[in-house]
Chains A and B, each alone.
Chain A
Amino acid sequence: MILRALWLRPTVSRPLRFLATVAGVAIGVAAVVSTLLASRAAVASLGADVEVVAGQAALEVRRPGGVDPAVLGDLRELAGEALIAPVVEDVAHVPALGDLARVLGVDVLVDDGVRAVELDFGERDPQEALDAWLLGRGVALSRGLAAELGAAPGDALEVLVRARPVALDVVAVFAPERFASAWDRVLLVDLSTAQELFARGPRLDRLELRPRTAWDPDAFAARVAERLPDGYRVAPASARRAEGERLVRALEFNLTALSGVSLLVGVVLVATTLATSIVQRRRAIALLRSLGASRAQLARAVLVEAAAIGTLGGLAGVAAGWGGARAALAGVRTTVATVAPEALAGDVRLEPRWLLLGLACGLLASLAAALLPLREALRVPPVQGLRQQLAAGPARREHARRALLLAALAAGAVLFARLPPLEDRPIWALLSSLLVLSTLLVLSAPLIDLVARLHPVHGALGGRIATSVRVAQAAVSAGRRRAAWAAAAVGVAVGLAVAMATMVGSFRTTVVEWTEQAMRSDLFVRPLPTSTGVAAGGIDGEVVAIAGELFGPEALDPFRATTAYVDDRPVALAGAAFGTVSGRGGVPFLDGRPSHEVFAEAARTGGAVVNEPFARRFGVGPGDSFELETAAGRVRRDVVGVYRDYSGHTGRVVLDREDYLGLFPDDGILSLAVYLPDAADVAAARAQLAAALAGRFAVEVLSNREIRGEVLAVFERTFAVTVALQLLAAAVAGLAVITVLGALVRERRGELAVLRTLGGSAGQVLGVVLGQALLLGAAGALGGLLVGLVMGYVLVVVVNLQSFGWTLQFVPPWGSLAATVGLVVPACLLAGLVPAMAALRQTPLEELRELG
């Protein structure tokens, strides 16, 4: 009965408001689910690929720079207990696919013991196909990939290996038993084919060990380890996955935390709706209380409404999130590529757990949002609720309580902002920014008081308008509690938008300056990007020779990178031409030293420059040294400079090219920067280089402006979500104003009736209601702006540093902030039209008669 009276009847009579609230929750849930789904899909392959690649292998033997095949001899005696499978692995670009694929080079004679797949040679003679696989450029494809490519045994498949076109010979297709979708981006070739394609020489990437008998993995690993030369490591296959996942999960957490912000907006919206509906139903609640309804019954009614909103919003959010994830995949994929370039994108898959997650998010958000309104409902006494609430100023005691609460929140925020991250996740810092945001709940009532007392309108406005505004001020002040709700809702929405805009704006300004400083090469050569925008897979070293003939070797900075270990943790190790960079490059260093000076010193002393994330992770700075595990053994290098790096958050060490090549074999380059003389015709040089490479290499030659534009484009794509958040903030603010103002109008309909009866025009009534909307919007926008800036500061200075290891400048994007406020206040005014029109439809005499 109570449920019907309190909830069903109003919901049926005002379905739009209910649906709007559900939509608010759905948007929040959709943002979270789509971010998670897209990032999971972007790295789906990371986890599954490791499984596929590892097959049934239990242990892996690796070494920085690759495994010397002589190690097979060292492990020979253990071959009776474990099948030893050598692997060479890299990526190639498959133009027909528009995507990268993993080239998995295995010993096809023994590998079915590790990765059992059933081969189908189609029309090919099996013996001939096997010869082609072992002795030619044969490749086996999963059925899924073959279908996608329209390829069958006997067909040729063109791929780009190190940016060089290579025709592979499809020898067989197979139906993978497990992880079918991960196999759909795998080219299965013989070990020697992979070694030839990637110019590895005899080196192997790893040895996989699969038990032939029941074994104790730890004991066996120890026996393997004691036979291995220095520099080798043996670890469970799962360890590699864990390391890859650690990086990606941290990134995923950060992306999700950002999307989670929109869920907060949903929470505010639900709270507002519930609070409003309770306020609107005070009379009904009071009546029900008088008729003997218990508090538990009331609470049940409120919670049922919240649960219904949460459930519907959660379900709709999952559906919308799934669609959103598909749309966002490319963007997220590029972002993920910065931490795990070898991860291959999979499909966006909607699993039951995502449905549960979405439901849980929706329900939790709704129920959390119901707590304060519930308190409000339970406080309605049986009789008082039947009376009109009288205008009442805040008591002195309340002021003191608010001040105390505010101080506590501020102190908490400061404390949490100073705590270190938890497992690379800025949990405390995020909590700190939440505390900052929650100050709005405390601040909104004083803000309402503030706007209610302002008298700047006297001279500036005409008498009638001034009267309307004064009445509006009085009305807002009188409905202080409800008005505070609306202002808080508007404030939270604005605050979140402002915080996000501040973070992204700061980030963008920093990155733009950084690209201008750091990216000074005139031409930039990189592998042809896939249709998902990833330019990976490296470039054949011959490109350097060709460019060298055209521009002279001193103009070139070929970039190489591999994985090395510091303190047993993998880091990216790069080789660059310090001589070239010291003359031309402008890499910004943390301590402000000029780039040429640092690189000249590094070249002279054989030192290293490291990026900021590395310096933070290992606690080193200029003058410190660290030990690096390389293919040539352990070496110690001094840190000469720490440079700002916004291209990723993995630690990176850069050595001079010569030094690098002394420590690691030359596996080709990832990209090539060309520095031309000042007077050079860049366009002509670019055309010349492009012509020299045309037909033989699938590379892109970009101008300086283009490459900088690319970096920013990736950046914009990644943070496109914030634009949506700004719009969302305006929508939420509008909804809050509609619901709260509707309630206020209903509550004050007596006064409005009196105003009309005393000769007040329709315009004045409109003015009063719209004035209230303006005041609510202004109070909310003001509070939101202030709190949003503080929250933005925490995000920029603390959260980013902890998430990515980046020092960013704090640069609020004032234009964008003005736009947010400029969007929200009119939205509130617009929203005020709905209750204003309702007020106009009232018949003054009937209202007065009814109110007695």
Chain B
Amino acid sequence: MSWADALRTALVVSAALAGPAAAQDGGWRRVGRDLALTFPADHGAHPAHRTEWWYVTGQVEDAAGRPFGFQFTIFRRGLGDAPPAADDAPRRPRHVFAGHLAVADVRAGRTVHAERLRRSGSPLASAARDDLDLVLEDWTFARGPDDVLAISARDPARGIGLELELRPQKPLALHGDGGYSAKGGEEGNASAYASWTRLATTGRLWSEGRAHDVRGAAWFDHEFGSSVLGDDAVGWDWFGLQLDDGRELMLFELRDADGRPTKAAGSLVQRDGTVRALARDDFTVEATGRWRSPHTGADYPAGWVLTLPEEGLRLEVTPRLADAELVTGSTDTAYWEGPVELSGTVRGRGYAELTGYAGAMTRRF
């Protein structure tokens, strides 16, 4: 692999899964139960923690009703065994930022994506510490007045792009215990996790080089931590679903190399914005179909039935297009990230993310 492929693989995999690096995160600050998030400061970057990402997914339609899905993510990953100390060499890159932009053309059944990668310490990549204000080359992501988020990200070479305004329809949701989202058995195996689960979305989307004026709904996640996962996790399935009854559902399930779930949790955000934290026993996830990627040969689940018995919910989750695999940097770093449709007790829409199916990528490092 070329050197940047190696780095991207290390970066993306670790950012998404933080698997093997977990044991070596001694110098990086872990998220503890004493976590107390304050905003807007905690919308900003947390460079004392190793891994962080800001994540937006959404489904929109243009004036002619043509449906699109989109994903926009900026990852930050700290380099080395510990965060930079005050007396460290000032020119050293201590953080790496990676950006992923994907536009899914539902009708064409096609997902196109683009990437950006840059070290910290230059005007080409920065993240404010006191608010959401990210720059990654020509891509920007910032919070404005009234928590309105602005995304500007285009990739002329791939013909895709987003110029979107995202207006929260609900208060910020803190997952787990006040944002402390346990991911493993130990206290430190956790992330700080906050979301705007429903954002009214307007603006412009580019697909195949053509601009579409679009509107729809999006979901924002911000997550950070160090040694987030236990050593045994190799991938996860994640769902961010907006139900037509005004509630939102976030579920994730971590699994080990044998495909056994190691940890699962979630949040149900009520109409008034209050969050009910969901534990392993509160829900079930059952895959109902499979899709084999023609790009990587990875065998992904495609279609699920989710049940939350206490809430009386039975949701059939169906991908709106089969091929939403993102092959980033090299064929070893691939994941499926695509728009889904809900039927069952309630209808709705959302996004699913499936990682760790395209080979045991983390074992490379």
Using CB atoms, name the residue of chain A closest to B93. Answer: A134
Whole-angstrom CA separation of A84 from B364 in the bound complex: 29
- CB < 8 Å: which of A84, A109, A196, A213 contacts B91? A196
- CB < 8 Å: which of A69, A112, A140 contacts B4? A112
Report yes or no: A118 in contact with B1, Cβ–Cβ below 8 A: yes
| Neighbouring B residues of A134 by C-beta, 8 Å | 79, 92-93, 119
- CB < 8 Å: which of B5, B89, B118 contacts A192? B89
Report yes or no: A192 in contact with B157, Cβ–Cβ below 8 A: no
Report yes or no: A213 in contact with B117, Cβ–Cβ below 8 A: no
| Neighbouring A residues of B122 by C-beta, 8 Å | 69, 72-73, 86
Residue A76 is within 8 A (CB to CB) of chain B in the complex: yes
Known: A126-B365, A213-B156. A109 touches B6 (CB 8 A): no
B15 to chain A, nearest CB (A): 14
Whole-angstrom CA separation of A191 from B118 in the bound complex: 13
- CB < 8 Å: which of A84, A117, A126 contacts B124? A84
Question: Contact mask B250-285 → A, CB, 8 Å, 1/0?
Answer: 000000000000000000000000000000000000
Report yes or no: B91 in contact with A192, Cβ–Cβ below 8 A: yes
Tell me the A684-703 residues at the B interface (CB within 8 Å).
none
Whole-angstrom CA separation of A212 from B154 in the bound complex: 12
Residue B137 is within 8 A (CB to CB) of chain A in the complex: yes
| Neighbouring A residues of B38 by C-beta, 8 Å | none
Total chain A interface residues with beta-carbon distance under 8 A: 41
Question: Contact mask B279-314 → A, CB, 8 Å, 1/0?
Answer: 000000000000000000000000000000000000
Report yes or no: A130 in contact with B117, Cβ–Cβ below 8 A: no
Report yes or no: B91 in contact with A119, Cβ–Cβ below 8 A: no
Report yes or no: A119 in contact with B138, Cβ–Cβ below 8 A: no
Whole-angstrom CA separation of A125 from B21 in the bound complex: 13
Report yes or no: B89 in contact with A196, Cβ–Cβ below 8 A: yes
Using CB atoms, name the residue of chain A closest to B116. Answer: A79
Report yes or no: B2 in contact with A116, Cβ–Cβ below 8 A: yes
Residue A424 is within 8 A (CB to CB) of chain B in the complex: no
Which of under 10, 10 to 19, 20 to 34, or 35 or more describes the interface residues of B?
20 to 34
Question: Contact mask A510-539 → B, CB, 8 Å, 1/0?
Answer: 000000000000000000000000000000
- CB < 8 Å: which of B1, B4, B92, B155 contacts A109? B4
Tell me the B62-114 residues at the A interface (CB within 8 Å).
79-81, 89-93, 96
Whole-angstrom CA separation of A127 from B81 in the bound complex: 11
Using CB atoms, name the residue of chain A closest to B140. Answer: A76
Report yes or no: B156 in contact with A81, Cβ–Cβ below 8 A: yes
Residue B31 is within 8 A (CB to CB) of chain A in the complex: no
Residue A108 is within 8 A (CB to CB) of chain B in the complex: yes
Whole-angstrom CA separation of A526 from B81 in the bound complex: 40
Whole-angstrom CA separation of A81 from B90 in the bound complex: 29
| Neighbouring B residues of A108 by C-beta, 8 Å | 3-4, 7
Tell me the A1-41 residues at the B interface (CB within 8 Å).
none
Residue A80 is within 8 A (CB to CB) of chain B in the complex: yes
Whole-angstrom CA separation of A110 from B7 in the bound complex: 10
Question: Contact mask A76-99 → B, CB, 8 Å, 1/0?
Answer: 111111001010000000000000
Whole-angstrom CA separation of A118 from B1 in the bound complex: 6
Report yes or no: B91 in contact with A76, Cβ–Cβ below 8 A: no
Using CB atoms, name the residue of chain B closest to A200. Answer: B91
Residue A846 is within 8 A (CB to CB) of chain B in the complex: no
Tell me the B175-207 residues at the A interface (CB within 8 Å).
none
Whole-angstrom CA separation of A192 from B84 in the bound complex: 15
Question: Contact mask B136-152 → A, CB, 8 Å, 1/0?
Answer: 01100000000000000
Using CB atoms, name the residue of chain A closest to B89. Answer: A196
Whole-angstrom CA separation of A213 from B161 in the bound complex: 15
| Neighbouring A residues of B10 by C-beta, 8 Å | 126-127, 130
Report yes or no: A73 in contact with B89, Cβ–Cβ below 8 A: no
Using CB atoms, name the residue of chain B closest to A107. Answer: B119
B88 to chain A, nearest CB (A): 9
| Neighbouring A residues of B123 by C-beta, 8 Å | 69-70, 72-73, 76
Using CB atoms, name the residue of chain A closest to B137. Answer: A79
| Neighbouring A residues of B4 by C-beta, 8 Å | 108-113
What are 8 A-B pairs at a CB distance below 8 A?
A70-B123, A76-B135, A77-B138, A79-B137, A125-B365, A134-B92, A134-B93, A212-B156
- Using a CB–CB cutoff of 8 Å, the interface residues on chain B facing chain A are 1-7, 10, 21, 79-81, 89-93, 96, 116-119, 122-124, 135, 137-138, 154-157, 364-365
Nearest 6 CB-CB pairings of A with B: A73-B123, A79-B137, A112-B4, A192-B91, A112-B2, A79-B138
